[in-house]
Amino acid sequence: MVTQDQDLGTVALRWQGDSLALLDQRLLPAEEVWLTYQDADGVAGAIHDMVVRGAPAIGISAAYGVVLAAQRLTAGDDGWRVKLERALDRLAASRPTAVNLFWALERMNAVLATADTLGGACGALEAEAVLIHQEDIAANLTMGRLALTIMPEQPFAVLTHCNTGALATGGYGTALGVIRSLWRAGRLTRVYADETRPWLQGSRLTAWELAQDGIPVTLNADSAAAHILRQGEVQWVVVGADRITANGDVANKIGTYGLAVLARHHGVKFMVVAPSSTVDMSLASGNLIPIEERDGTEVRQVQGRPVAPADVAVFNPVFDVTPAALIDAIVTEKGVILNPGLEAMAACFN
């Protein structure tokens, strides 16, 4: 059974003290299967294979992966520090785009650097991972509150892309958290959810999550977005992010950039919602963000069934970069940045 928390939505990640349980997001909504991981390599594999996905959830899982690596070592194990550093490297290699992964691992590495013994490291690393997890939930709740300060009072429809809910985070969600907050405030009529090819995070996860919480959702093919925005019902497009650079450019699920172009053309507002753990001030612009490309079978097949010639060439970038100029607001737990750019980002994050 899925853990259904009234306030946070369907949380897909459970720390069990000596193991990490993940709801297998590849199988939703057809099957609800929990998998248990007891070491860092298992967690790195779960991130790479999309058992767990969504930038904040990836970061939190990786942090727990470091704890598991420490717990698996034995007292008196010479070279425990080097072994843990290697585990950090393996976790870092799991996926390239969401900076939350590297942010979380840096925090864990800083804790590791101050530990004198393996026993001390175990306790301190677990405390840090739990803190990262709790901070993410708190950030989501804060962003839900902040976003509403710049949105209309009268109920309106939103369109979203990919999945940014409890499944993608420690709980509640980023863009989907804002959607939850709008719904609870009586200011939302309907959510249009892009299906989000090729992984179908929108249809398999977002539509499922919203339906579970009784929030009115209409699923649409990605290619229907222009038509929907033209009809005038949608006032805001609300999406998450995998990395936000110093000039306010945003990497998010492939298709987000096109949606931002469409929103601007139709006079629809475009909001990005992400915790500060998604902000990478070390990169000057989105051109520098490593964009993950995944295997062509993800496009040639749908749920294992062929939908294209078996040997057709495929280009499968799974993220794109939306230029800051197309974004009306970036909402983080540190505040709302209107018309993001270099100066506004620096004022908030330097």
- Among candidate residues 212, 148, 188, 187, the one with its CA nearest the CA of residue 2: 212
Of 50, 143, 55, nearest to 99 (Cα)?
55
Helices then strands, each counted (H, E), the chain: 11, 18
**Nearer Cβ to ligand MRU (168/327):** 168
DSSP 53-87: -SHHHHHHHHHHHHHHHHHHS-TT-TTHHHHHHHH
Contact between 202 and ligand MRU by CB under 6 A: the answer reads no
Q: By CB under 6 A, name the one of 40, 60, 98, 200 that touches ligand MRU.
A: 98
Query: 8, 40, 55, 329: which one contacts ligand MRU (CB under 6 A)?
Result: 55
Q: Which listed residue (10, 61, 71, 174) binds ligand MRU by CB under 6 A?
A: 174
Backbone dihedral region of 292: left (phi > 0), alpha (psi from -120 to 50 degrees) or beta?
A: beta
CB-side neighbour CA atoms (13 Å) of 336: 16
Query: For the purposes of burial, counting CB atoms within 10 Å of the CB of 119, is it exposed (0-12), middle (13-18) or buried (19 or more)?
Result: exposed
Does 271 help bind ligand MRU (rule: CB under 6 A)? no
- Taking the alpha carbons at both ends of the chain, their separation in whole angstroms is 43
Q: Which is nearer to ligand MRU, 196 or 247 (CB)?
A: 196
Smallest distance from ligand MRU to CB 242, Å? 5
Is position 54 an interface residue for ligand MRU (rule: CB under 6 A)?
yes
Stretch that binds ligand MRU, among 3-11, 48-56, 182-190, 301-309 (CB under 6 A): 48-56
Active site residue 242: yes
Q: Which of 213, 242, 280, 328 is catalytic?
A: 242
- By CB under 6 A, residue 201 contacts ligand MRU: yes
Catalytic residues: 242
Residues forming the site for ligand MRU (CB under 6 A): 53-56, 98, 162, 164, 168-169, 174, 201, 240-242, 252-253, 318
